[in-house]
Amino acid sequence: MAKLGAKAGWNNNYCESVTANKTLVAKDSGKVFIPSGAARTVTLPTVSSSLAGFHCTIISGDDSEHVISGGASLIYYHGSYGTDHASNTGRDIHETVSSLTLGAGAINDTIDISCDGTYWYCSGSTKATVNAA
C-alpha cells in the first residue's frame, strides 16, 4: 500500500492504494482507499463505542469484484447502481449483512463507510449491483 499524492485533504485524509487485502484500524478513519490489481478484501474494524464517528471511502481503482467485510460486525448498505441511468439502474438495500461485494466491479465504484459505534453504515454509487452475504 502506498500513499497517493503529496498532501493530505481537509481532514488529513490521504488516499492510499490497496494492492493486497487490508484490515482497517481506527487511525484509518478519514482516509480514501483505492483497491486495484485484483479483487481485494478490505476488512472493517470490529465495531465498538470507540469507533463512533469513524468514516472512510473506498473507490475501486479497477474492474475487480472487491469485498468489504464487516467481520463479526453488521453492515447496513443502501446504494444506487446503473450503467446507462435509464433501463439498467436501481437501488441495492442490504441490511444486517457481514460483507459486500462489488458485482461486475468498475473503476470509480464508490462506497462511503461510517460507524456509530454499533453498526457499519455504507452508501454507494456503483456501475452494477452490490452483492451481500
Q: Is the pLDDT of residue 114 over 90?
A: yes
Averaged pLDDT score across all residues of the chain: 90
pLDDT band at residue 85 under the 50/70/90 scheme: low
pLDDT tens digit sequence for 30-54: 999 999 999 999 999 999 999 999 9
pLDDT of residue 40: 98
- 92: its cell numbers: 441495492
- Work out whether strand 32-35 and strand 55-59 pair parallel, antiparallel, or are unpaired: parallel
C-beta neighbour count of 22 within 10 angstroms: 17
Distances from the Cα of 57 to the Cα of 46, 49, 89, 112, 124, angstroms: 17, 20, 22, 4, 9
Q: What percent of the chain has pLDDT over 90?
A: 78
Distances from the Cα of 5 to the Cα of 9, 24, 61, 85, angstroms: 10, 20, 15, 32
Best CA proximity match to 70, nearest among 89, 90, 51, 84: 51
User: What are the backbone dihedrals phi and psi of residue 28, each rounded to the nearest 5 degrees, phi first?
Assistant: -85, -5
Tell me the domain boundaries of the chain. Answer: 2-132
User: What are the backbone dihedrals phi and psi of residue 26, each rounded to the nearest 5 degrees, phi first?
Assistant: -55, -40
Residue range 79-104: average pLDDT? 87
